[in-house]
Structure 1
């Protein structure tokens, strides 16, 4: 087969299917934009901003956590109806850090210290105790 014949066939095929392919990709991009869930980095950034805003307003930040999540580590006496609400103000916790997409910190109840481990996907909400304002994650609505 001659190279010019191959080029003509390739041109016909490309010119026939390329517009449909591009249109299909555009529809795919639109669908992804509509249904796109925030990435974990976006969720962490959103969490940090909400946490700072709550503290700046001189409120007490609380986390609402799905206690049934397999990676959640909290004292069992904190759990009620499959949920845990924790005061995460700087005076209530220490050693607050993000390790492998989990928030890890120490908290105290009575005379006992507890290590708490909360994966990002187990956080249902972060809110100000006084007003109830904050962020609620769509996956739990």
Structure 2
């Protein structure tokens, strides 16, 4: 089979890491490149990105599909429908320890990334209270952007 005809591994890896987070009682967060193709509350987008809590407690009707991630989430107490093309997910990680995986940004929605980057901790050094709402996760303090380490 031609490698161009293969399905992207990104949605499968997202689902696997979501399951790993929930099996270990961690809170799965996704970082999303917020452009015109995503449906999220614009008032929570910072620097073209939004970080969302996608835990069972924070979402309703969560669907981790091959093309889109869909769910209903509460932002400031207001329920919103969220739709994210899988190609716009930049990372999925556990809030509690930062372990997860980052993906390169795909410029063209019809193509996918070549290879993900894995992390062994270090995505987020800030631990915060979870209010059970799918609203944006807190961002690290300025100058301390999350970092990912490639593990082979």
Is 1:47 paired with 2:14?
yes
Question: Given the two structures, how large is their TM-score scaled by the length of structure 1?
Answer: 0.67
Q: Give the distance between the partners of 2:105 and 2:50, measured in 1 at CA.
A: 17
Q: CA RMSD in A?
A: 2.5
C-alpha displacement at 1:111, in angstroms? Answer: 2.4
Could you say which structure has the higher helix fraction? 1
Paired residue secondary structure (2:32): strand
The runs of 5 or more residues in structure 2 that have no matched partner are 107-116, 118-152
User: Of the two, which has the highest radius of gyration?
Assistant: 1
How many residue pairs get aligned? The number is 107
Paired residue secondary structure (2:90): strand
C-alpha displacement at 1:138, in angstroms? Answer: 3.2
Instruction: Give deviations 1:8-52, integer Å, cap 9, x for gaps.
Output: xxxxxxxxxxxxxxxxxxxxx9xx87xx8x733x22211111111
2:67 aligned to 101, 106, 119, which one?
A: 101
Which residue of structure 1 lines up, in the alignment, with residue 147 of structure 2?
none
Moved segments of 4+, more than 4 Å: none
Which residue of structure 2 lines up, in the alignment, with residue 122 of structure 1?
88
C-alpha displacement at 1:78, in angstroms? Answer: 1.4
